[in-house]
Structure 1
Amino acid sequence: MTETRSRPFDLPPVWLAMAVAIAWVQAHRFSFGLSFGPIWADLLGGLLVGGGILLMALAIYEMRRQQTTFHPHHESARLVQSGIFSRTRNPIYLGDVMVLAGLILYWDAVLSLPLVPLFLWFLERRFVIPEENRLRRTFRMDFAKYCEKVRRWV
């Protein structure tokens, strides 16, 4: 497992924390009286946060079980295709997006909603595509077959 980049703070949780902080500040300082509504946003937000955390936990469990890394800048020892990875190729990143969307709903951070597609775009460009390129070079045909069976997101 070699490190392909030496940027200790260039990790998805750091970027998620920054996006969450922006949403929180917007909700608490610049809400302008906007709201998603009474209860449904809280419920959906909670479900998204819980579901996102569950996705991440299932992915980390499966990667540990397969004895490979979940660090986005390290080379994978194995191509994990079992467990949650049989449903989505990027469950941790999908979980990150779900957590952000859920917190935005829960906090009524209406003006922060555009952060969700921006964050998804950023994760894809900064982490997903480079990771998939490394997997493609390392696992060649196995990765190509995996991509045919399992979609990138859902």
Structure 2
Amino acid sequence: MSNEDQNTDELETGNESRNIEDDADLKGAGVKYPPPIVFLMIILLGGGLDYLWPIGMGVSGNGALVGGVLILVGATIAILVNAEFKRRNTAIEPWKPTTSIVTDGFYAWSRNPIYLGFCMLSIGIGIALNSFWIFISFIPGALAVQIIAINKEEEYLEAKFGQEYLDYKNKVRRWL
């Protein structure tokens, strides 16, 4: 095989490798289950447990107000984070490619503020409904999202953005 043939093979192999990377990026982090749906399903499971084995939390008349505030704050975080992703023209859905890393706003305090917002929603609904099961549903919700989404998202962002993402990851905590 001549040097010219060998160089051609290397170039072709290099192009094939690049195409595989491009194809992988079309799927983003490869998350299969939407995190909001995961949280919703776990909150509904908490509601089912509350129906079967009701355990109140002894919340007074202000429970609805406190729960409502947490619901409002959690929903506001989710809405504002979504708006920031749209403003930067990058996908918020973890199964789509990311074009940039968001590191300001809520992302200056947490690498996963939208998931924190979902936790606040869960806690707020539990308090508002005086439901222990819904209140604690944020724990399995956070664990499930950690396993099915966050780990994959972080691996994807590290592979795509390299040192830029590692610097951000070293500076900002995963949750709080």
TM-score, reference length from structure 2: 0.77
Change (3 A) 1:150 1:19: same
Instruction: Report the counterpart of residue 123 of structure 2 in structure 1.
Output: 101
Q: Following superposition of structure 1 onto structure 2, how do residues 41-56 of structure 1 map, counting pairs within 5 Å?
A: 41-56=63-78
Instruction: Report the counterpart of residue 21 of structure 1 in structure 2.
Output: 44
How far is 1:64 from its partner?
0.8
Q: Distance in 2 between matches of 1:149 and 1:6?
A: 25
Residue 152 in 1 paired to residue 152 in 2? no
Count of residues paired in the alignment: 151
Describe the superposition over 1:65-114 as per-residue Cα deviations: whole angstroms up to 9, x where unpaired. Answer: 11100001222111111222112111111111111111111111113444
Kindly indicate whether the alpha-carbon contact (under 8 Å) linking 2:122 and 2:138 is maintained by their aligned counterparts in 1: yes
Q: Distance in 2 between matches of 1:119 and 1:47?
A: 20
Give the aligned residue type for 2:157.
L
Residue 136 in 1 paired to residue 132 in 2? no
Change (3 A) 1:6 1:131: closer
Residue 90 in 1 paired to residue 98 in 2? no
Unaligned runs of 5+ in 2: 1-24
Residue 2 in 1 paired to residue 26 in 2? yes
Q: Distance in 1 between matches of 2:85 and 2:134?
A: 32
Deviates more, 1:81-90 or 1:68-77: 81-90
Kindly indicate whether the alpha-carbon contact (under 8 Å) linking 1:91 and 1:153 is maintained by their aligned counterparts in 2: yes
Instruction: Report the counterpart of residue 34 of structure 2 in structure 1.
Output: 11
Aligned CA-pair RMSD: 1.9
Deviates more, 1:79-88 or 1:57-66: 79-88
How far is 1:6 from its partner?
8.2
Deviates more, 1:88-97 or 1:103-112: 103-112
SS at match of 2:162: helix
How far is 1:127 from its partner?
0.5
Residue 119 in 1 paired to residue 168 in 2? no
Unaligned runs of 5+ in 1: none
SS at match of 1:132: helix
SS at match of 1:84: helix
Change (3 A) 1:6 1:66: closer
Q: Distance in 2 between matches of 1:59 and 1:15?
A: 18
Describe the superposition over 1:120-140 as per-residue Cα deviations: whole angstroms up to 9, x where unpaired. Answer: 111111101110110001111
Kindly indicate whether the alpha-carbon contact (under 8 Å) linking 1:26 and 1:109 is maintained by their aligned counterparts in 2: no
Give the aligned residue type for 1:111.
W
Instruction: Report the counterpart of residue 61 of structure 2 in structure 1.
Output: 39
Q: Distance in 2 between matches of 1:67 and 1:37?
A: 43
